[in-house]
Structure 1
Amino acid sequence: MAPVGGSSEHDVVEKQVKEIIQDLYQVMVQIQTYGTAGVPTAGVLEQQMIDVSSSLQKIHASTSTVPSNQPKVKLPSIPPELFKYVDSGRNPDIYTREFVELTRRGNQLMKGKEEAFGSFRDVLAQEMVKGMPECKEDVRRILEETGGRGGLVDG
């Protein structure tokens, strides 16, 4: 993924996110071994939760308040549909592939509609000139302004 905004601000946020992930991993380890090590782990678990809290506060502060001479770090927005997709245990790469295919299909449909309307425009222009020859110049001007070929009405 390409960095959003300045690379140094993005790197700081990325580092803070990595720290949060590490802190959460440490919490998971402490929870799994809670009381089984034979030593009191409540204090260690409490410290890990404090570390997670401070890491979250740090990343919130760095993405919300920025000195006036620097632009705010704009994190990429992730569509809610992608969160639902991943929460249901599916691969986000498949979501991206399906999205690209859906977009491609929609683009092909729109291109087909555009070509159909263009053909209709050209046929309508020819028939209008046949039926009302006095409007030939107006029809030619309209064809040229709408992307058609004005020469269609000459023959």
Structure 2
Amino acid sequence: MAPIESPMVKEAERQLKDVVQNMYNLIVQAVDNHGNPTQEATKREFHALVSSMISLTQRAPDVVVNIPPEVTTYVERSRNPDIFTREFVETCQRMNQMLKGRSEAYLLLRDTLARDIMSAIPELKGEVEAVLQNAPKDTF
């Protein structure tokens, strides 16, 4: 699947990254201060998080980004969506190889049947050759 190149989608992606970064900053703030972050630093990070979430929700309503439910499930299970993408690509490659092999097998079957029919029933040779000429050519 080709990436979406819309400027509005890129902006939404940037805003989502800002939200994630702000959440990360809150975690770092808590860890750096051994669970006792200063009130000012925490306020600042929460304010940044809320601001980035507001800007994300106020983006243009006509932007529709369809996220497959499988990806949403992956994220809900705390898994990396890049893993889903990699597995999806690998599955597509396997299916393409399987279908290519199947197509090649059908072409081989067609040629074998044509040869056997022409040798067993010589009077059908012209018709078989006509069928072979009109059949799709190998595209591999």
Shared fold, TM over 0.5: yes
Residues 148/135 of structure 1: CA separation in 2 closer, same or farther (3 Å cut): farther
State whether residues 122 and 148 of structure 1, in contact with CA within 8 Å, keep that contact through their aligned partners in structure 2. Answer: no
Deviations 1:116-154 (A, max 9, x none): 1111101110111123222222211211222369xxxxx
Residues 74/5 of structure 1: CA separation in 2 closer, same or farther (3 Å cut): farther
Residues 110/125 of structure 1: CA separation in 2 closer, same or farther (3 Å cut): same
1:93 corresponds in structure 2 to 82
What's the Cα RMSD here?
A: 4.2
Distance 1:116 1:78 in 2: 37
2:97 corresponds in structure 1 to 108
1:129 corresponds in structure 2 to 118
Distance 2:107 2:3 in 1: 41
Distance 2:53 2:80 in 1: 29
- Report percent identity of matched pairs: 36
Letter in 2 for 1:13: A
**Structure 1: segments with no counterpart, 5+ residues:** 29-36, 39-44, 66-72, 150-155
1:58 corresponds in structure 2 to 58
2:43 corresponds in structure 1 to none
Query: What TM-score do you get using the length of structure 1 for normalisation?
Result: 0.56
Alignment of 1:1-155 (within 5 A): 4-6=4-6, 8-17=7-16, 55=55, 57-59=57-59, 62=60, 64-65=61-62, 73-75=63-65, 77-147=66-136
Distance 1:148 1:51 in 2: 60
**Structure 2: segments with no counterpart, 5+ residues:** 28-37, 40-45
Deviations 1:15-58 (A, max 9, x none): 554566688889x9xxxxxxxx99xxxxxx9x99x968854652
> How many pairs were matched up?
132
Letter in 1 for 2:113: L
Letter in 1 for 2:9: H
Report the 3-state secondary structure (helix = DSSP H, G, I; strand = E; otherwise coil) of the residue aligned with 2:87: helix
Query: What TM-score do you get using the length of structure 2 for normalisation?
Result: 0.60
